[in-house]
Amino acid sequence: MQHSGGPSLLAVAVSPLTGRSYRATCDLPQDSCVLDISTPYADTVYKKFRKEVCAECWRYELGRTDFLTCRDYAEAGLWFCDARCRDSWLEREGQGTVELLKTLEAARIRKEKGKAREDASTAIKQITQDFLDQAWEEVSAQEKRPKTLNKWKMLQLDDFEADLARYVLLALNHLHRESSSFTVSSNDGPSQFAETRPGLNFGAATWNDFASLQSGELLQISKFPELLDNWVHIYQVLKARFASKILRPSAKELSTSASPANTTDLSDVITPQNVRTALGVDPSNSFGIWQVPVTEESEGLGFGIYPVPSFFNHHCAPNVRKERVGRRLRFVTTAAVRAGDELCISYGHVEHMTLAARREHLRDGWFFVCACSRCAEEEASATTRDAAGP
């Protein structure tokens, strides 16, 4: 994987305990910027905040809305500081994406009804990979039956699903645009492709980089079985609304701008596997879009997936800090490091917590048992203390 700016200061190493990680390729002083990525591959700003957050630079002013002066695409769920932010967003995402988001917003339930939908999977106690594969095979089988897609066209998404669906739609649209460009492209490698083609730079990453990230599908759905219904639901709505090759629009749809005929045709990329990939990447890799400056009270405004920085592992005494400037993420050393040292960030505000509290926080939020050297040392000294007795 490559990233902007000169020879890489980072090399990927693999360890049996923590998977892929970044190591420094040379000695680095404190405050060295080791990675600087301009935008996520895909992101979403939660509906609760989107009238208060610029869709491009993610400026947020504690609920004020007066600075968001460009509201040309409010129907697509996009509010911008001004024309400059709007144009910057359009340059990367393309005008067609506004239509895609508008179509998706039309599938959002306007007002949440009191009673939640009945969830079939919540009764399932033990979720296994086989169970998930079978559930998705059933969805693929349903889709081949006549009339199913027309039934799916009537489905709507609650706010939680619609916010996630926006992120999936952006990722799939990037895949679609990359695939269309590859057909007329040279033999550049995928990451280089994203770096060098103007208008197709999604954070120095391609779909292949995005899809190679660790999936949290099984771990997350095992903990929250009801998510399976949300994920299937998202797939059904995306398939029904954006796969126009396989759908003939009704007379009513033809007269509205939300008709599939008027939006980009994503039939080639909306598959159960691709939707699972995008949704599976989220739990293990997402970077929260936190109100800055970040404090423990900061609001979580949304999330983004940055495939290149996703190889930073967590450490409870990290040697790299993350800085967000607009959509840009910069990673800066907090101490001098030696060539070959692992470079780690912190996944949360855990540094001041006890070993037990950190473990719980990381297991509940990130689904792993922390194997960093600080945890290992604290665990070893606790064991020695216990063995020594009172």
Ligand X SMILES: C[S@@+](CC[C@H](N)C(=O)[O-])C[C@H]1O[C@@H](n2cnc3c(N)ncnc32)[C@H](O)[C@@H]1O
Crossing angle of helices 95-105 and 227-242, rounded to 10°: 120
365 binds ligand X (CB under 6 A): no
317 binds ligand X (CB under 6 A): no
Q: Which two tokens mark 348?
A: 């949360």
371 binds ligand X (CB under 6 A): yes
DSSP label at residue 250: P
3-state secondary structure of 289: strand
The partner residues of 322 in beta bridges, in order of sequence, read 331
- C-alpha dihedral over 186, 273, 282, 75, to 10 degrees? 80
Nearer to ligand X, 127 or 370 (CB): 370
361 binds ligand X (CB under 6 A): no
370 binds ligand X (CB under 6 A): yes
197 binds ligand X (CB under 6 A): no
One residue of 8, 13, 20, 267 binding ligand X per CB under 6 A: 20
311 binds ligand X (CB under 6 A): yes
Query: Which residue has its beta carbon closest to ligand X?
Result: 19
- Which whole-number Å values give the CA distances from 226 to 121, 155, 233, 350, 352, in the listed order? 6, 17, 11, 28, 33
CA–CA dist 245, 103 (Å, integer): 16
One residue of 313, 319, 333, 346 binding ligand X per CB under 6 A: 313
214 binds ligand X (CB under 6 A): yes
Nearer to ligand X, 165 or 305 (CB): 305
One residue of 46, 79, 207, 368 binding ligand X per CB under 6 A: 368
Crossing angle of helices 227-242 and 159-182, rounded to 10°: 50
292 binds ligand X (CB under 6 A): no
DSSP label at residue 28: B
372 binds ligand X (CB under 6 A): yes
Q: How far is the CB of 366 from ligand X (least distance, A)?
A: 5
331 binds ligand X (CB under 6 A): no
310 binds ligand X (CB under 6 A): yes
340 binds ligand X (CB under 6 A): no
Q: How far is the CB of 207 from ligand X (least distance, A)?
A: 16
What lies within 8 Å, CB to CB, of 289 at 6+ separation is 43, 45, 53, 58, 300, 301, 302, 303, 304, 324
- Using CB under 6 A, list all residues that contact ligand X: 18-21, 213-214, 284-285, 310-311, 313-314, 366, 368, 370-372
